[in-house]
Structure 1
Amino acid sequence: MISIDHVSKSFGTAASHTLALDDVSLEVGRGEIYGVVGQSGAGKSTLIRTVNLLERPDSGRITVDGRELTSLGAKDLRIARQGIGMIFQHFNLLSSRTVQGNVELALEVVGVDGKERRSRAGEILELVGLSDKANAYPAQLSGGQKQRIGIARSLATRPSVLLSDEATSALDPETTRSILDLLKTINRELGLTVLLITHEMDVVKAICDSAALIEGGRIAEQGKLVELISKPGSRLAHELFPLGEVPAGTTGTVIDITFSGGLADRPVIAQLAREYAIDVSILGATIETIAGSQAGRTRLELPGSPETIAAAIADLRRQGLLVETVTPTTTAGAAA
């Protein structure tokens, strides 16, 4: 649905420039919710703005719903953009217009007549739960309500793709959850493909099917979350299930066990204690619902001989569990 093919983008002059995107490639499937996560300055905002060519890349191709946008002229690009909605971090509402007027604005721009504009705006306001605020002004709304209006406006032209530029970063946790629930509803009911950028892993956990980690303008890792969870050494997976530092004073072998799907309810600790006579210590654990299924990570300290520990780890791996050894100086672990 969205193909970003070897895209690079720099800012500045030839003598002094910043490379914001460096040979970036991504594929977002139809109907997916795809998250791009990274720190400030990593290139997230530049990346999402290249998808609708608000930032034209220096090189590479952008294809959305089968149309290569980077090859289009100005007129055809304006038409193609009608199929791409965009939600902004700071809402970008017109204070002089009512809620209804702000939603209708997107339709005015593309020449939709007044009766149809009013009808469509009413439909979308009902979808986002703000029909009763149609005649209110932005100053009378909460932050979450303003973002719902921003979402409604982005849906007015019936896009097939929705871009979200840090849409929840200015909101409190409870409001963030409600906006993410709304995005999931829109994705499910309208069949929209959603590409969002964020610096918050909680957003990725909550709604994404796939994700990419961007650093210094390059994609460091990407894939479907259910596959990344079982990938040894995956940085995204470790960020999804943070367990922190290994406590000082540990003397046994420390392992992280990652499980997902049908493996989540295995009595792993009881089995280790029973079959290998190991006094297992639990150093940390986390469990989440990722892409619709339970997954998590448990950190254990295993005392005993190297032979016993090796046999126990081999047994866990035969059960399909991802097992990584951890040292006191690392937090992410290393595949062993």
Structure 2
Amino acid sequence: MLVNAYGAHAGDQPLEPLQITRRAPGAHDVQIDIAFCGICHSDLHQVRAEWHGTQFPCVPGHEIVGRVAAVGAHVHGFRPGDVVGIGCIVDSCKHCADCEDGLENYCDGMIGTYNFPTPDAPGWTLGGYSQQIVVHERYVLRIRHPEEQLAAVAPLLCAGITTYSPLRHWKVGPGKKVGVVGIGGLGHMGIKLAHALGAHVVAFTTSDSKREAARQLGADDVVVSRNAEEMAAHAKSFDLILNTVAAPHDLDAFLVLLKRDGGMTLVGAPATPHTSPNVFNLIMKRRTLAGSMIGGIAETQEMLDFCAEHGIVADIELVRADQINESYERMLKGDVKYRFVIDNATLAG
């Protein structure tokens, strides 16, 4: 069936209205009418062909919230009218060790919500900047937030799980001191989640003007990373530092803040590599430098349930479909607190 969408026909062209084809639901499929879709920084990189392998037309969007419109004959966990979400994953091999462990995000056969190979037309997945999507039931998530929060739930499907997964993996909770580097789309979720998990949270920013905003998000302390004295005051004290910055910067400045056996995990994806850290900053205190990528389906559902229980959503600005290109430009300037979300009802014209 044909549905309205917003996408680009080339990396140097703006996004514009277009129509795409969605398959009819198969036996294990869920058809979803999309209400809201978050705008992720990776959408911009992909649609502008700044990352290798973009196929056009490209319809981005992997932070999807909507309602079930129809289900396949063998679907038993969902029914029409249910409020559901789709994140970054719409398929995987289902049988490798990663999939069996519920870590589909690390499956070599993972299929992302857009720009990944699929038998459906046009041969690659098309994302949530559209009126509707059809997904295998395994990758559909249940949303338990109240109706008035649904738009602000959308960024949890990427920004939320990207920060929640490492916090859970490194067992963040009461008695732990956690640093969050960067107060943006990812960082603001990292602060909220680490605070809700019971950790002592320190936010790192390059801007003194963000101190109060970080505290309102749940930070117990705020450090301006350009201030050497403020940084030195936290030397060798962190259990975990969650680094959300998507630009190359000095990793050693944060590694030295880790206590013995502390770790820093990177979740921001810069366009060019970081310079290598000084290995002595790792080996002298048995510190670790790691990375983390989104989360599996089970963990994403756990995150959504945790956020519903604690009343956690993203801080958003709701935009119309015809404001997507403007939102991209504002996002590049950091002119958003902290995520844009599309009202997909505006795709109808």
Q: Return the TM-score normalized by structure 2.
A: 0.26
Q: Which has the higher helix share?
A: 1
Higher CA-based Rg: 1
Q: Return the TM-score normalized by structure 1.
A: 0.27
